[in-house]
Amino acid sequence: MLERFEIQSNSSWYVWFIPILFAVHNAEEYYFFSEMRYIQLIQMEENVMQRQYFFVALCLLTMIVFLFVCAHFMFRKRFTLSMLLIIQAMIFMNGWFHIGGAILTGRYVPGFITSLILIIPFSLFLFRKGIVRGWWKMKHVVISCLLGVVLLFPIIFGVLFLAKVIV
């Protein structure tokens, strides 16, 4: 995996866009929280979806992503680069879920706008840049996207539960 990885090539400044765009996306979700009626289809405790828990969960997720980017720049290892790929793939797949949700419901879904104009385009850019720079291969991107689908909901529910414990 990542056989031709070069330490100097993984220091690109645009990797910092991962937590920045994630924070902007989370801000859209939080601001339009009241529009998230579609989540009621998922059986969850009512108090977990209260605005304060949701805010804490979004902050935790954003902080975790930021810490992974920091770890990557501190240690510059294949592992941290692979983790960034998986994180971006999860964000990418989350963006597609927002777009799909908007199409299926026929109305605005919180996170739709940032998914459409920021998350999906930036993810495609980063995936391509990583392939061109030799950070990863296309098969790693595909596997990461599949892993992103599998991990997305358990991570979201886990962080929501953690937010409930914290608050």
DSSP state of 50: S
In a domain, 3, yes or no: no
Query: How many separate domains does the chain show?
Result: 1
In a domain, 142, yes or no: yes
pTM reported for the whole predicted model? 0.85
| Residue pLDDT, tens place only, 52-93 | 888 999 999 999 999 999 999 999 889 999 999 999 999 999
Count of helices and strands (H, E) across the chain? 6, 0
What domain range includes position 96?
10-166
| Residue pLDDT, tens place only, 112-126 | 999 999 999 999 999
Tokens of residue 90, six digits: 């999860």
Task: Say how many C-beta atoms besides its own lie within 10 A of residue 139's C-beta.
Answer: 9
Closest CA relative to residue 130, chosen from 19, 25, 21, 12? 12
In a domain, 22, yes or no: yes
